[in-house]
Amino acid sequence: MDEAALRALLDDLAAGRVGADDVVARLRRLPFADLGFARVDHHRALRQGMAEAVYGPGKTPDQCVAIVAELLRAEATSPVVLTRADDAQVDAVLAAHPDGRLSGGRPATVVWRAAPERPGRVLVVTAGTSDLPVADECAAVLHAHGLRPERLADVGVAGIHRLLAAADEVTAADAVVAVAGMEGALASVLGGLTAAPVVAVPTSTGYGAGLEGVTALLSMLASCASGMTVVGIDNGFGAACAVVRLLNAADRLAPSIDPANSRR
């Protein structure tokens, strides 16, 4: 249950449309639902502004179906997201819940009940085409939460003129996600070009000394571009969540900003 659903339930109680016993019964399931093999966190959207997502690896197709069903059963408007799903999991969940939206590629991201479009210009930038699967996961999760990310692909530092040709797009964004493997230098370049928050995603793309993403991760953490956020290797989902949290916080702060003071 998210904040909107909780407020609607309390409004119904105040208006006499539901009884107190019914409200108590619904709230009893609010913290979590015990499925035996999983405890589905229905309280997360209230705490964090984002509902629990379902991580596919390690779960059977039937377990994915059951968890998705429980999240969809909740009286909420929050999106339901299944990440890193394999073919068997995708087939099972879409057979049981056919209104899911499947992203391209494998492992796949499947989204139900995507949020309505909201303001916020997000740019997802990749160093090379090998980084696209991670960027796809990030874009799918952003879309689930109402954002419509723009994409800028294959603009790594080996041909930096490709990125500089799109400098206006970079500086116009409210948030930038930098997806890069090899030595991960793209994130530092983007961090030096824009005032917007930059979330860096190291990928496992690269040759031997890339150490399956460790080199890019350490490079991003050691960046001289101040204030950059770095998530784990290949973690497009985590990057999207970081952007959503940043923009949610900005939305909460916006009404408290005095326009007169902001011009000083």
The domain that contains 219 carries what CATH number? 3.40.50.1970
Given 114, 139, 155, which residue is the final one in a domain?
Answer: 114
β-strands 198-202, 150-152 pairing = unpaired
Same domain as 122, residue 100: no
Q: What is the pTM of this model?
A: 0.82
Given 114, 136, 160, which residue is the final one in a domain?
Answer: 114
Which amino acid does the sequence have at 32?
A: F
Sequence-distant (≥ 6) Cβ neighbours of residue 253 within 8 angstroms:
none
Same domain as 138, residue 109: no
Model pLDDT for residues 66-123, shown as the tens digit of each residue: 999 988 887 567 899 999 999 999 999 999 999 999 986 678 999 999 999 999 999 9
Same domain as 214, residue 89: no
At 136, list the tokens. 């796809």
Same domain as 147, residue 102: no
Total structural domains within the chain: 2
Model pLDDT for residues 172-181, shown as the tens digit of each residue: 999 999 999 9
Q: How far is Cα 125 from Cα 184, in angstroms, rounded to an integer?
A: 12
Q: Is the dihedral of CA 110, 115, 117, 121 positive or negative?
A: negative
Q: How far is Cα 3 from Cα 220, in angstroms, rounded to an integer?
A: 36
Same domain as 67, residue 152: no
Domain that holds residue 258: 117-264
In the block, tokens 């930059």 appear at 198
Same domain as 63, residue 185: no
Given 90, 114, 138, which residue is the final one in a domain?
Answer: 114
Task: Single out the residue of 88, 89, 80 nearest to residue 140, CA to CA.
Answer: 80
